[in-house]
Amino acid sequence: MKGASRFQVLVVDDEQVQREMLEGFLTKEGYGVGTAGDGASALAQFRKTPYDLVLTDFRMPGMDGIQLLGELKRLNPEAMVVLLTAFGTVETAVRAMKEGAYDYLTKPIDLEELLLLVQRVEREVTLRRENRELREQLREKFKVDFIVSASRGMEEALSLVKRAAPSTATVLILGESGTGKELIARAIHYSSPRADRPLVKVNCAALPENLLESELFGHEKGAFTGAVARRIGRFEQADGGTIFLDEIGDLSPSLQSKLLRVLQEKEFERVGSSQTLR
Indicate whether 277 and 203 sit together in one domain.
Answer: yes
CA distance 115 to 117: 5
Query: Please, which contacts does 233-238 make with residues 24 or more away whose CB atoms are closer than 8 Å?
Result: 233/270, 234/200, 234/202, 235/262, 235/268, 235/277, 236/277, 237/198, 237/200, 238/197, 238/198, 238/199, 238/200
pLDDT exceeds 90 at position 19? yes
Average pLDDT along the chain:
88
Is 32 a domain residue?
yes
Residues 104 and 170 in one domain: no
Domain count for the chain: 3
Q: What is the pLDDT of residues 213-241, one digit of tens each?
A: 999 999 999 988 888 899 999 999 999 99
Q: Final residue of a domain: which of 170, 195, 220?
A: 195
Q: Is residue 83 part of a domain?
A: yes
pLDDT at position 2: 46
How far apart, in whole angstroms, are the C-alpha atoms of residue 143 and residue 147? 7
Tell me what percent of the chain is helix, strand and coil, each rounded to the nearest 5.
50, 15, 35
What is the 8-class DSSP label of residue 271? Answer: B
CA neighbor of 145 nearest in space, from 126, 127, 123, 165: 165
- 219 inside domain: yes
Average pLDDT over residues 26-45: 95
Q: Do residue 154 and residue 105 come from a single domain?
A: no
Inform me whether the pLDDT recorded for 175 exceeds 60: yes
2 domain-assigned: no
Residue 184 structural domain: 143-195
| pLDDT exceeds cutoff 70 at 39 | yes
Q: What is the tens place of the pLDDT at every residue in 122-149?
A: 999 988 888 878 777 776 777 666 677 7
The pTM score is: 0.55
Q: Is pLDDT above 90 for 11? A: yes
